[in-house]
Amino acid sequence: MLLEASDLNPPAEESEKFVFGLPTLGVALDFNPHRMLNIYAQGSGMYAGSYGYLYDAEIGIKLIPIKILSIVGGIESCSLRPSMMTTLLKQSFMAPLLA
């Protein structure tokens, strides 16, 4: 990442290398109250000390009317919070999921 401010006197220039390791560690839970219904939850994340953290979580229901067809609905949440960067890189979202 490179940040330049050429309009300043003297001009300022700053660069930072942003490296993030994956895969993350997580947990998953599946519950089958009926052969046509699956309830699931999963979450994973990584804490990187003074660099910040990343997490991803999802919860949903899977309907299986026939063996070769599934209907999935739920909510997914993701957050990236680097602590050493500007607020431009701090992202998070929560969205419905339908597939």
75 within some domain: yes
Is the pTM above the cut of 0.85?
A: no
pLDDT band at 13 (very low <50, low <70, confident <90, very high): low
Contact 74, 60 (CB under 8 A): yes
84 within some domain: yes
pLDDT band at 89 (very low <50, low <70, confident <90, very high): low
Identity of the amino acid at 23: P
State residue 86's pLDDT score. 57
3 within some domain: no
7 within some domain: no
Domains identified in the chain, total number: 1
35 within some domain: yes
Domain of 84? 27-98
Residue 4 has pLDDT above 70, yes or no: no
14 within some domain: no
Q: Read off the pLDDT of residues 58-71 as tens digits, 9 standing for 90 and up.
A: 999 999 999 899 99
User: How many separate helices (H) and strands (E) can be counted in the chain?
Assistant: 0, 7
Residue 32 has pLDDT above 90, yes or no: yes
State residue 38's pLDDT score. 94
11 within some domain: no
